[in-house]
Copies of this chain bind each other. A is one copy, B any other.
Amino acid sequence: MAGTGTGLAGAVDAYLGDVRDRVVGTLLRDLPDLAPAGLAGLVSSYPSRPGKALRPALCLAACGVLGGDGDRALNSAVALELFHNAFLIHDDIQDESEQRRGGPTLHAQLGTAAAINVGNATNLVGLRRLMENRALLGSQVAWRIIQETELMMRHSIEGQAIELRWIADNACDLDVDDYYRMCLKKTSWYTCIYPCRVGALVARQGTGEPTGFDHYGWYLGAAFQIQDDLLNITGDYDAYGKEICGDLWEGKRTVMMIHLIRTLRGAERARLVAFLGRPRAGRDAAGVAWVRDRMVAAGSLDVARGYARQLAAAAAREAEDALGAAPPSPHREFLLALPAYMIERDR
């Protein structure tokens, strides 16, 4: 793969920043009036905070690298950024998270009832944008994008259900393949495969199957999720924007946790299983610190870093295969540089 360094990371940051300005700017400018006055402002809360704009960037890059007109994909890019923000609002409630993108979560500000409703309103505004594709792209392509959206939502909901079930059942017999299956649904499809597929559908105007980025997106998404899980434990709050060790408070089955459960023996394993078997409110800071220290001692973080590197390398190989022959463009460079960027980011 291409060498990595500040040069490439800077190029990725610049591409993401441009997309963010364009997509989030359009999203905020075009928000419909919603009753009561103030509801549209609540819908704009998460999008207004600093975010990576990774999903719309993948959509526009996949469209651009295939020779498509980015203006025709902008509407879909806005829609999927809205779906992402809706997902974050509901996910923060489900995870009982307190912080998001450097500020309090919406349910911490408004209460759960209003936050659920703002999440639903955000999904609704996304659906409206997808329906505008009919005039923009024609009935056939607009319908295909809605089909892709339905498929993405199905994978996301199933991935979320699998992860919640593991916590509810206090699953302690998982292996890394279980994690990958969950992660394909929860993260890769939603964060990488779906945006690329939508970009490809727009570029190809609905002809052919938009599957050329599927393997790339699968590896890239898994690398992204593992890096996110690592940052959750090792990150710096100011960069990461979420509470540190939140995943441990929640009992999430990350690759590090799965490694730790499989590694500990005897009384230490029993203590970990008991910690995970408690409801969130039954865990305390001392227990969380103990689990984090065990992860460091057991090498779980290094194991996870190794997985993330392997996955990023696999994504880079897929990108070379898929894009090696494409003419140079910022879109091509972004897609090629993204795998290394994913595992070097601190936010």
Contact = CB atoms under 8 A, between A and B. Distances in A.
Interface of A: 34-36, 38-39, 90, 93-96, 110-114, 116-118, 120-121, 124, 127-128, 131, 134, 139, 143, 146-147, 150, 153-154, 157-158, 160-162, 164-165, 168, 185
B114 A161 contact: yes
B93 A116 contact: yes
Contact of A117 (B124, B143, B146, B161): B161
Given A113-B93, A131-B147, A121 B36 contact: no
B117 A93 contact: no
Contacts of A39: 157-158, 161
A39 B124 CA distance: 24
The complex is assembled from copies of this chain, and their number is: 2
Given A94-B113, A94-B116, A114-B164, 19 more contacts: A34-B154, A38-B165, A39-B158, A39-B161, A90-B116, A90-B120, A94-B117, A95-B113, A114-B161, A117-B161, A117-B164, A120-B153, A121-B161, A124-B150, A124-B157, A127-B153, A131-B150, A139-B139, A146-B146
A150 B165 contact: no
Contacts of A116: 90, 93-94, 116
Given A35-B185, A111-B168, A164-B117, A153 B131 contact: no
11 contacts: A35-B161, A35-B185, A36-B162, A36-B165, A38-B165, A93-B113, A93-B116, A110-B168, A114-B161, A114-B164, A124-B153
Contacts of A35: 158, 161-162, 185
Nearest to A42: B161
A90 B161 CA distance: 16
